[in-house]
Amino acid sequence: MSFTNFTQIQQSLESGDISLSDIVQSYIDNIEQNNDEINAVVSIDKENALERADEIQQRIDDGSAGKLAGMVIGVKDLICEKGKQTTCASNILSDFESVYDATVIKRLRSEDAILLGRLNMDEFAMGSSNENSIYGPAKNPHDTSKVPGGSSGGSAAAVAANYCTASLGSDTGGSIRQPASYCGVVGLKPTYGRVSRHGLVAFASSFDCIGPLTNSVDDAARILETIAGPDPNDNTSSSRTVPNYTKYTEDPDSNIKIGVPEEYFGEGLDDEIREGIQNKLNELEQSGAELVPIHLPHMKYSIATYYILATAEASSNLARYDGIRYGHRADIEDVEQDLKEEQEALEEQIKQAKGDAKQELVDQLNDMDSSLIRLYKKSRTEGFGPEVKRRIMLGTYVLSAGYYDAYYAKAQKVRRLIKQDFTEAFEKVDVIVSPTAPTTAFDLDSNQDNPVQMYLNDVYTTSANLAGICGINVPTGTHSNGLPYGMQLMAGAFKEGTLFNAAKLVEQLD
């Protein structure tokens, strides 16, 4: 059993051809049969999902069901669900169980969506390949020797592998859109503040956005209608009214202006992807769209700016995981035993030393970390993976005395310039187009020893997060290597309706 989109599910349910419990069971069966290879799902709640299916089926039958009745959704493992483990794919939170629901979870349930399982991800959403996970790497359903992208790789792979109707991911620098491109699905990053972050475990608080990954633009619009809106638990959420986004996909207006920035189509972009996107743009132009060449002069600084600011915020956010209040805690007895042995060894050396050498050893003994500091260090050393440690160190460095002005303060100024570039561009065009990623999905393990190359996979996506605007990946074609690739569309802040309109035009070209 396989459905292309939610509309097909609704039609089947309304006609009585199938029951909702049958649909849920088909997803469960698919996960149990194939997930060992893909590794997109880290846990499923079969019993609760089937119970919910029966309850919602009754509401469907009597006409009182919510607008997402029949939609089965997977959730990235950093969005809190009460009573469920929320590990962020990290050992530091391997035993953490959420005590409340994120706002987006409450809103999905209120419209009768069924939440089926928790999905794999890069640890604390830090990565572009979904290889940094205590659960092991997720794999691309189109070719299991390839990565699904990251950090929402499990969310993209789950939709592409037909493990769920849709999924929730998070996007800090492209972590929804890039894996959506690699896996051939739709991936939406809303405007910053459009969707509440309450219940989302923070990576970089001024960048993080929750958004859907789906098989169609219509489904993404439906989900955003449900999860968007103000939230008293998140002071950064916008108080703006949530439009009816699905109306923008019902009869999209082809008379739009599409900005084509030269900076996004230069060196480093795969030739087939460039040609495929250009062909789509030509078709859009023939159907009534106007292609407008534009210039985004500060885009070349986006990767450097993003990784300075995002790592700085990450180092601050992750300081709370100290092994004392909550999270993984090292064995205190081992810590105290190691400290005792080191102290005794130094005391023995002091007895035999003389003069300056003796004083140096005394100073060394007096300067030894306490057992509490050692517990803190060992807990974090054991709890965090190498990529998270790398970003904590980078962030601490750019915030340190003597480097703050040279790096962090300067990056904030460049962020303002990048935002200004987009503001000026959107005075001339409705949407801006770019590739979503420079290549199709790359081989597993191919970039693990080259973090800079890994970071460059976000070259086209980070600018939208820096500017706080909305962006979407729309599947665009299949490369000669057999892998999908996508095109990214971006619109101004809170212009998701315009974005959906353009995305639907692209989708209709297939």
Would you call 495 a catalytic residue per the annotation?
A: no
Candidates 151, 152, 237, 379; catalytic one: 151
How far is it, in rounded angstroms, from Cα 452 to Cα 457? 9
**Beta strand pairing status for 186-189 and 209-214?**
antiparallel
The question of whether 128 is a catalytic residue gets the answer no
Alpha carbons 411 and 306: distance in angstroms, whole number: 8
Q: Whose CA is closest to 221, among 194, 257, 254?
A: 194
User: Which residue, 240, 154, 145, 143, is CA-closest to 190?
Assistant: 240
User: Considering 12, 76, 238, 463, which one is annotated as catalytic?
Assistant: 76
Catalytic one of 12, 175, 196, 434: 175
Query: Which residues does 427 contact at the CB level (< 8 Å), separation at least 6?
Result: none
Nearest to 493 by CA among 419, 435, 418: 419
For 368, what's the count of Cα atoms within 13 Å in the CB-facing half-sphere? Answer: 20
Structure tokens at 473: 């990946």
The first and second tokens of residue 490, run together, are 């971006």
- Look-up of token digits 């500017």: 467
CA 506 to chain centre: 23
Calpha distance 371→238 (Å, rounded): 45
Q: What amino acid is encoded at 401 in this protein?
A: A
Question: Is 175 part of the annotated catalytic residue set?
Answer: yes
Nearest to 194 by CA among 208, 184, 177, 176: 208
343-366 burial by CB neighbour count: b if 16+ within 10 A, else e?
Answer: eeebeeebeeeeeeeeeebeeeee
What's the token pair of residue 120? 């794999």
Distance, CA of 127 to CA of 454 (rounded, Å): 8
Which of 276, 323, 342, 210 minimizes the C-alpha distance to 474? Answer: 276
Which residues 6+ apart lie within 8 Å of 370 measured at CB? Answer: none
Q: How far apart are CA 485 and CA 79, in angstroms?
A: 27
List the catalytic residues: 76, 151, 175
